[in-house]
Copies of this chain bind each other. A is one copy, B any other.
Amino acid sequence: MATAEMNPLSISGSTLLYPVIGYPVGQVKAPMLYNQLFAAIGIDAVVVPLEIAPADFPRVGPALFAVSNVRGAMVTIPHKPACVDFLDAASAAVKAAGACNAIVKRADGTLFGDLFDGIGFVSGLKRAGVEPKGMRCLVVGSGGVGAAIAVALGEAGAASVGVSDINTDSAARLAGRLTSFGVCREAFVATNDPAGYDLLVNATPLGLKESDPLPVPVERLAPGTVVADVIMKIDFTPLLLAARERGCTIHMGREMFIEMAPLYLSLFGYDGYTSDGIRKLVGYKD
A23 proximity list for chain B (CB < 8 A): 68
Q: Is A261 an interface residue (CB 8 A)?
A: no
**Which residues of B sit under 8 angstroms from A9, Cβ to Cβ?**
32, 35-36
How many residues on A have C-beta within 8 angstroms of the other chain's C-beta atoms? 44
Identify which of residues 1-53 in chain A touch chain B, using a CB-to-CB cut-off of 8 Å.
Answer: 4-9, 11-15, 17, 20, 23-29, 31-32, 35-36, 38-39, 46-53
**Are B8 and A69 touching (Cβ within 8 A)?**
no
Q: Give A31 Cβ to nearest chain B Cβ, in Å.
A: 4
A108-123, CB under 8 A of B: which get 1 and which 0? 0000000000000000
A69 touches B50 (CB 8 A): yes
A63 touches B (CB below 8 Å) = yes
A56 within 8 A of B: yes
Residue A60 contacts which of B6, B17, B29, B67 (CB distance < 8 angstroms)? B67
A241 at the interface (CB under 8 A from B): no
Tell me the bound Cα distance from A11 to B26 in angstroms: 11
Q: Say yes or no: A8 contacts B5, CB within 8 Å.
A: yes
Instruction: Find out whether the CB atom of B11 lies under 8 angstroms from the CB atom of A46.
Output: yes
A8 adjacent to B35 (CB under 8 Å): yes
Assess the B69–A39 pair: CB atoms within 8 A.
no
Chain B residue, CB-CB nearest to A15: B49
Report A's interface with B, CB cutoff 8 A: 4-9, 11-15, 17, 20, 23-29, 31-32, 35-36, 38-39, 46-53, 56, 59-60, 63-64, 66-70
A9-B36, A13-B26, A13-B27 are known contacts; what are 4 more A-B pairs with Cβ within 8 Å?
A9-B35, A17-B49, A17-B50, A53-B68
Question: What are the 3 closest A-B residue pairs judged by CB atoms, nearest first?
Answer: A8-B35, A63-B63, A51-B68
